[in-house]
Amino acid sequence: MDNAAMSEPDIHFVPTPHRVVAEMLRLAEIGPDSLVYDLGCGDGRVLITAARDCGARGVGIDIDPCRIAECRANAVQAGVQDRIEFLQCNFFDARISEATVIVLYLVDSLNVRLRPRILSQCRPGVRVVSYSFEMGEWEADAHTPIAANGVFLWIVPGHLAGSWSISTESNAVSLESFCILQAFQKLSGVAQIRGRSGCIVEGRVSGEHFTVTGELENGKKRMTIAGRIQGETIEGTVSESGAETPFALHRDRSA
C-alpha cells in the first residue's frame, strides 16, 4: 500500500465536546500513573486534557498528517508536549500493549474491528472508553448518558475460560475443579466442591478479578466463588452457608 493510500482516514474528524472529554477521563479513572492511547486522536484534545489535568502520559495515533501536526502544535501550546507522543500511522497496525487506558471516538464498525486487537494485546484491567459508539456483542461495563449516545466503558477481562483443577488432594480444599465458559466478561460453567457439583448461574470477570454465584444440591444451597487470575493459577475463596474457605487451582492444559 502506498503512502497516499495509507494517509486516507476511514472517518472524518469530529471534535469531542469538552464536557464529554471530562467524562471520558473520569469514567476511565485517569491519573498520574495512566498511559492513555487515543486511537484516532484528531486534534489531541483528549490526551492534552489528560496530561494537563490528570498528570497522565499519552500516545496519540492518527493516519492524517494534518491532524498529527495540529496535535503537536496544540500540545506545545498547552505545555504538555513532554508527556505525549503523536504517531502518524494506521491504528490497526499500532502496538497497544503498553496502554492502561484506550480512548475511542470512531464508529461502531471500527470499534468492532479493533476489539480483537484490544482483547489480545491489552493486559487484564485495561480500561477502554468510547464516545457514542459501542463494541458489538461485548457489552459495556458502565455507561454515562451524556450528549449523543453517551460514554461507554469496558474493562479488558482476564482469560478464565477452560478447566482448572487442584494439583494435589487435600481435605482442606474447598474448590476441587472449575470448568468455565466465557463470553467477554460474562461467565458460566460448573464447579466441583468437596465432591458435589455446582452449576454457575451468574458470573463476571473484571480485569484479573472474578465472582460467580452458583447452586448446589439441585438449587437447595447457594455458593459464591470469588478470586483472582494470576497467569496459570487462580486463587480465592468459596462462600457457602456463611463460611468461607480458600482455594488455589491451576489451568488444566490437557483438557
Q: What is the separation of C-alpha 190 from the centre of its chain, rounded to a whole number of angstroms?
A: 25
pLDDT at 8: 59
Phi, psi dihedral angles at 31 (to 5 degrees): -145, -170
pLDDT at 55: 98
pLDDT at 88: 97
**β-sheet bridge partners, residue 143:** 152
Q: Which of 220, 158, 147, 212 is nearest to 184 (CA)?
A: 158
Confidence of residue 255 (pLDDT cuts 50, 70, 90): low
Write out pLDDT tens, residues 146-200.
998 999 999 999 999 999 998 655 445 578 889 999 999 999 999 988 788 889 9
Q: What is the mean pLDDT of residues 130-151?
A: 96
The per-residue pLDDT of the chain, averaged, comes to 91
To the question of pTM greater than 0.85 for the whole model, the response is yes
Percentage of residues in the chain with pLDDT exceeding 70? 92
pLDDT at 29: 98
Write out pLDDT tens, residues 58-113.
999 999 999 999 999 999 999 999 999 999 999 999 999 999 999 999 999 999 99
Write out pLDDT tens, residues 1-54.
334 344 556 677 889 999 999 999 999 999 999 999 999 999 999 999 999 999
Residues 6+ apart with CB under 8 A from 233: 248, 249, 250, 251
**Residues 237/212, Cβ–Cβ less than 8 Å:** no
**β-sheet bridge partners, residue 206:** 209
Q: Which residue has the cell 454465584?
A: 213
pLDDT at 9: 60
Distance separating alpha carbons of residues 111 and 118, to the nearest angstrom: 10
- Domains detected in the chain: 3-155 (3.40.50.150), 162-251 (2.40.128)
**Residues 206/157, Cβ–Cβ less than 8 Å:** yes
pLDDT at 171: 46
pLDDT at 11: 73
In terms of average pLDDT, the best of 126-130, 165-169, 237-241 is 126-130
Distance separating alpha carbons of residues 7 and 69, to the nearest angstrom: 13
Q: How far is CA 91 from CA 3, 29, 87, 121, in A?
A: 15, 23, 9, 13
